[in-house]
Amino acid sequence: MKILVTGFEPFGGEDINPSWEAVERLHAPEGTELVRLRLPVVFREAGEQLAAALRREQPDLVLCIGQAAGRDAITPERLGVNLMDASIPDNAGFQPQEEPVIPGAPTAYFARLPVAALAEAIRAAGVPAQVSNSAGLFVCNALLYRLLYEMETGYPHMRGGFLHVPCLPEQAERLGKEKPLPSLELSRIVRGLQAALDFFGENREA
């Protein structure tokens, strides 16, 4: 089984993004091949790079990872919506307002992941996790929607979805406007994401 795992570059003035820091530290479960991809925090370019990687790598499973400041747990996302509505510009200066990710495409897609079971596997590793019903409307959601659209239209047997991770402790104070944000140490983020990978390594048809 080939697994493609993506993380993002820093954004919003930060010099670190825990999604990519964690992805770099993951290892392939026994009997699998792990491919890593670092994506730009740029609405359309991130989706194009992911689509190219799907064509090139033909993975069986895709896990996209992103940072969600303000969350206190790793959150598998239940669905991606066909909408971009950004409160800040992306790293290319693009700040869409109420624009579709893909014009004319369906309103939303459900992730092709057993999100509840995945959250339980992460909690079993001692890391907080819960299912999320909203991936926001920034680049993370746009990437998730593009992934699900690509799978729906061209890769019927591929599985995939998105997991958000909290910010790191060193980010929490400077990102919080009135008080430090919830955070999670990088070692625990890695442990939780590794538990997610191991879940699929042990449950090849999940």
Question: What is the reported pLDDT for 91?
Answer: 97
Asked about 140 being catalytic, the answer comes back as yes
- Measured from the Cβ of residue 188, the count of other Cβ atoms closer than 10 Å reads 18
Tokens 């999940």 — which residue? 206
The pLDDT-based confidence of 205 (bands split at 50, 70, 90) is: confident
- Check 14, 140, 150, 167 and give the catalytic one: 140
d(CA 196, CA 60): 15
Asked about 167 being catalytic, the answer comes back as no
Task: Write down the mean pLDDT value for the chain.
Answer: 95
Asked about 77 being catalytic, the answer comes back as yes
The pLDDT-based confidence of 203 (bands split at 50, 70, 90) is: confident
Helices (H), 108-202: 115-124, 139-154, 169-175, 186-202
**pLDDT surpasses 80 at 100:** yes
What domains lie within the chain, and their CATH numbers? 2-202 (3.40.630.20)
Instruction: Please measure the distance between the N-terminal and C-terminal CA atoms of the chain and give it in whole angstroms.
Output: 12
- Check 14, 21, 64, 164 and give the catalytic one: 164
pTM of the model: 0.95
**pLDDT surpasses 90 at 173:** no
> 58: phi > 0 → left, psi -120 to 50 → alpha, else beta; which?
left
Helices (H), 101-138: 115-124
- Check 64, 77, 150, 167 and give the catalytic one: 77
